[in-house]
Amino acid sequence: MAAIVARNVPLMNEEQRTVYDRIMLAVSAGQGGFFFLDAPGGTGKTFVISLILAEIRSNNGIALAVASSGIAATLLDGGRTAHSVFKLPLNIQNNPDAVCNIKKQSSMATVLKQCKIIIWDECTMAHKHSLEALNRTLKDIKNNDNLFGGTLLVLSGDFRQTLPVIPRSTYADEINACLKSSPLWRNVEKVQLKVNMRVQMLQDPSAETFSKQLLDIGDGKVAIDETGYVKLPTDFCTIADSQDTLIEQIFPDVHTQYINHEWLAERAILAAKNVDVDNLNLKIQMLLPGNLVSYKSIDTVCDDSEAVNFLTEFLNSLDLPGMPPHNLQLKVGSAIILLRNLNPPRLCNGTRLVIQKLMKNVIEASILNGKFRGENILIPRIPIIPTDVPIQFKRIQFPIRLIFAMTINKSQGQTMSICGLDLKKPRFSHGQLYVACYRVGKPSSLFVLVKDGLTKNIVHAIALKD
């Protein structure tokens, strides 16, 4: 790790070095601190964070890396989701007095006492109650009434991106859930990255224009017509005229190309709604050669006394976000995503894989992303209990879903070589158009299915204010 730091620190630009030095100064001081690293896509945020983590770990210090989504967590060395590391309560949006489920005498409590820094990436997706729960827990574990118990906490992200997901929420609900609405936010020290290194490295004039257009979308500066729609500039992307055309543009010759795992890992189609994502995934999978294999889950209610009220067929019919379906249909060569932590840090929620072999009780797959890319692993069936339904039931199934397509929110933090957007049903919330378009660095890499180039762009200006 020391070699990584020695090799890469000199490669930083001036503002990256300023941020790095400021955070490392706080680490050296050992007095805690609360920072927000404000960094749009392409500015080298992950590069800077990775070097901070490597510098601390190379000196035998503990540095925790978490993110608000599984995919974002896989981009950081040793990264895990904030929910799994901090054992945050489920349905935390309804619990303003929440604490983390970490016992004072546990091994995790020892790690939190000894860690030099906690870095929380893609923080804008987190509910303010999560941050407040962490604050209470660290104070308690460390017997220290200072902010976060005297722990150095660095949040990173971009408030142009998506805010916490609140079912059936209003504008006021989204703003109230935002980290900036927490009383803790007044204590934050903001550091910034602005220079788009992705654009500079591409050395493509269209990439610079594209970056400015993206920031205009994120800042809500694109003109809205009388129907509330914005028109995507003609030089911003390639417009697709049908879903089949979009699939062909993103996954050309997928029936032969799927064996190229690098090719598969660098592309995806995004949509706003889970139902559209599911339809896209099944459609793309059908283009692969070979037979479809079905794996059906075993679904049971957790409380035996309730079994008479909920037929097995009803439980089978429930298809919930973050859960595998009852009837999981797969082919060899399909791209999949892990929905639970199986063997961290190798197999985490958000790890993307490609299926190598479909067996009766286990699936062999190869990891597509992160430092373990290319490794072959085995995935078993596991019991999964969903949290966001009124009945408690258990589903025994492989903890995976197809990932040729994904929701816009799930894509946050990823960089792709080529990206498709299915915007024919523009049901958007704050930052979703910005997040979707920012997965790539130049207009020739972005393909959009949208009628007449018109779509929604929801921006809550108050979320962008300091």
Q: Is residue 308's pLDDT more than 80?
A: no
pLDDT digits (tens, 9 = 90+) for 66-97: 999 988 998 899 999 999 999 999 889 999 99
Q: Is residue 388's pLDDT more than 80?
A: no
Confidence of residue 306 (pLDDT cuts 50, 70, 90): confident
Residue 213 confidence (pLDDT): 95
Confidence of residue 169 (pLDDT cuts 50, 70, 90): confident
| DSSP three-state, residue 422 | strand
Q: Contact at 8 Å (CB) between 78 and 371?
A: no
Alpha-helix residue ranges (DSSP H) falling in 148-242? 171-177, 197-202, 205-218
What average pLDDT score do residues 274-301 get? 97
Nearest Cα to Cα of residue 218 among 39, 69, 452: 39
Residues written for the chain: 466
Give the pairing type, strands 352-358 and 362-367: antiparallel
Nearest Cα to Cα of residue 87 among 43, 134, 17, 25: 134
Beta-bridge partners for 449: 240, 422
C-alpha–C-alpha distance, residues 30 and 315, integer Å: 51
What average pLDDT score do residues 413-440 get? 91
List Cα–Cα distances, 68 to 71, 86, 343, 349, in angstroms. 9, 11, 19, 11
Nearest Cα to Cα of residue 22 among 185, 152, 180: 152
List Cα–Cα distances, 80 to 84, 135, 155, in angstroms. 7, 19, 14
pLDDT digits (tens, 9 = 90+) for 1-53: 889 999 999 999 999 999 999 999 999 999 999 999 999 988 999 999 999 99
Q: Which positions ≥6 away from 14 have C-beta within 8 Å? A: none
Structural element, H or E, at residue 402: strand 400-402
Q: What is the pTM of this model?
A: 0.93
Q: Is residue 151's pLDDT more than 90?
A: yes
Confidence of residue 390 (pLDDT cuts 50, 70, 90): confident
Residue 268 confidence (pLDDT): 98
Bigger pLDDT: 133 vs 370: 133
Residue 361 confidence (pLDDT): 96
Residue 456 confidence (pLDDT): 92
Domains (range + CATH), the chain: 2-192 (3.40.50.300), 197-274+407-464 (3.40.50), 293-330+335-403 (no CATH)
Q: Contact at 8 Å (CB) between 58 and 2?
A: yes
Q: Is residue 230's pLDDT more than 90?
A: yes
C-alpha–C-alpha distance, residues 207 and 196, integer Å: 10
Confidence of residue 168 (pLDDT cuts 50, 70, 90): confident
Mean pLDDT of the chain: 94
Residue 413 confidence (pLDDT): 85
**Which of 193-207, 210-224, 248-262, 270-284 has the lowest average pLDDT?**
193-207
**Residue 250, CB-side half-sphere exposure with 13 Å CA sphere:** 32
Give the percent of the chain with pLDDT over 70: 100
Give the torsion sign (CA, 407, 412, 414, 418): positive
Residue 280 confidence (pLDDT): 98
Residue 10 confidence (pLDDT): 95
Q: Is residue 337's pLDDT more than 80?
A: yes
Residue 126 confidence (pLDDT): 97
C-alpha–C-alpha distance, residues 450 and 447, integer Å: 10
Q: Contact at 8 Å (CB) between 210 and 442?
A: yes
What average pLDDT score do residues 147-171 get? 94
pLDDT digits (tens, 9 = 90+) for 428-455: 789 999 999 999 999 999 999 999 999 9
pLDDT digits (tens, 9 = 90+) for 242-252: 999 999 999 99
Q: Which positions ≥6 away from 185 have C-beta within 8 Å? A: 179
What average pLDDT score do residues 269-294 get? 97
Q: Which positions ≥6 away from 303 have C-beta within 8 Å? A: 392
Residue 387 confidence (pLDDT): 79
Whether the link from the prior residue into 164 is cis, omega within 30° of 0, is no
Both structure tokens of 39: 């960094």
Give the percent of the chain with pLDDT over 90: 83
Structural element, H or E, at residue 394: strand 393-397
Bigger pLDDT: 198 vs 115: 115
The CA-based diameter of the chain, rounded to the nearest angstrom, is: 66
Bigger pLDDT: 369 vs 299: 299
Nearest Cα to Cα of residue 74 among 422, 317, 283, 373: 373
Q: How far is CA 93 from the centre of its chain?
A: 19
What average pLDDT score do residues 369-393 get? 91
